[in-house]
Amino acid sequence: MTETVSYINNSLKDYYPASEIKGFTRLIMERVCGLQPYQLLLGKGNELSDKEKAEIKEIVERLKKSEPIQYILGIADFSGYEFNVTSSVLIPRPETAELVNKIREDQKTALPLRILDIGTGSGCIAISLAKLLKQSEVYAIDISENALAIAKQNAKKLQAEIRFVQADILSPSVFESFREKFQFLSRENQNSSDWGFNIIVSNPPYVMEKEKAEMDANVLDYEPHLALFVSNDDPLLFYRTIARLGKQWLSPNGFLYFEINARCGKETKGMLKTEGYKNIELTKDFYGKDRIIKAQI
């Protein structure tokens, strides 16, 4: 076992910092060999099989090419849950977990809620909110059929009831298509207390094309560009579109929550004010960067 740990360390030392290699080692030994960290510390564990050795070697070689460990293993931890991930979806990140936590803290006394997650990807936001805000109705949109397939797997795996819709929010017909699907958005209900969503949340594409040069290979070469990038000429495209949809889809006094590009905090806040939103709140992440915006219709 010690020999295997040394092999991982020696193979990756020229590619990653020691702290990251330690994390990789823990994950590899846990997922491939079923060994918990304390067992490694105590030097416990049976001799590895040839199959396990071959699997570890393959993982190490893929790590050398900067492939994310989450894609290699097919799983990612998020908000206390384990999500399936493939290269069709973004890897869930701690900053996004902060967004989920903020919604939970803000809204935990307002249950039940009707929530819409736009650009759901792996389903990490929608599913986590469904688990954390019990009795809420949760809906999730994505343009990608492959992403929705992963999100549906995760919903089933984590026993969360989510209503998934494949849709392009940039399409002029998206609002009408939602009216047809959901009674609570019908014209008949427009003046009733049952109208609309209480919360719309989104972590849309927000990395500007010009920022590619600053990105690490593990993101740029492996994660889906459709979910990452937006034009330099209109970096607020998705936020502005969702804000305008929010004026049609949100219930009275409903909320928008966004994860944003740290470079565009003031601009996003200004856009929401121009679109008529109130009580706009910009929150920094644990790195001290503008990351979450909350606004009320």
| Per-residue pLDDT reduced to its tens digit, 264-293 | 999 999 999 999 999 999 999 999 999 999
Q: Is 183 exposed, middle or buried (0-12, 13-18, 19+ CB in 10 A)?
A: exposed
Whose CA is closest to 286, among 258, 264, 262, 255? 262
- Which CATH architecture describes the domain 90-296? 3-Layer(aba) Sandwich (3.40)
- The half-sphere exposure of 45 on its side-chain side, counting CA atoms within 13 A, is 23
| Whole-number percent of the chain with pLDDT over 70 | 95
Token pair for 283: 């929150």
Q: Is 123 annotated as a binding residue?
A: yes
Q: Pick the range with the lowest mean pLDDT from 70-74, 118-122, 176-180, 261-265.
A: 176-180
Q: What is the pLDDT of residues 11-58, one digit of tens each?
A: 999 999 999 999 999 899 888 887 665 555 555 545 778 888 899 999
Q: Is the pLDDT of residue 61 over 80?
A: yes
Q: What H or E segment, with its residue span, contains residue 256? A: strand 250-259
Q: What is the pLDDT of residues 175-223, one digit of tens each?
A: 787 877 887 777 677 777 778 999 999 999 888 888 888 888 888 888 8
Q: Is 59 exposed, middle or buried (0-12, 13-18, 19+ CB in 10 A)?
A: buried
Alpha carbons 28 and 22: distance in angstroms, whole number: 10
Q: Is 120 annotated as a binding residue?
A: yes
Parse the chain into domains and list their residue ranges.
2-65, 90-296
Alpha helices in the chain (DSSP H): 2-12, 18-33, 37-41, 50-64, 69-73, 94-107, 124-132, 145-157, 174-181, 217-220, 225-228, 237-249, 265-274
Report yes or no: 272 and 243 within 8 Å, Cβ to Cβ.
yes
pTM score, two decimals? 0.91
Q: Is 10 annotated as a binding residue?
A: no
Q: Is 235 annotated as a binding residue?
A: no
Q: Is 239 annotated as a binding residue?
A: no
Q: Is 135 exposed, middle or buried (0-12, 13-18, 19+ CB in 10 A)?
A: exposed
| Whole-number percent of the chain with pLDDT over 90 | 66
Q: Assign 250 to helix, strand or coil.
A: strand
Q: Is 206 annotated as a binding residue?
A: yes
Q: Are strands 250-259 and 290-296 parallel, antiparallel or unpaired?
A: antiparallel
Q: Is the pLDDT of residue 65 over 60?
A: yes
Q: Is 112 annotated as a binding residue?
A: no
Token pair for 148: 């929705």
Distances (CA, A) of 240 to 116, 169, 243, 246, 276: 16, 11, 5, 10, 12
Report yes or no: 125 and 133 within 8 Å, Cβ to Cβ.
no
Greatest CA span in the chain, whole angstroms?
69
Q: Is 283 annotated as a binding residue?
A: no
Q: Is 43 annotated as a binding residue?
A: no
Q: Is 84 annotated as a binding residue?
A: no
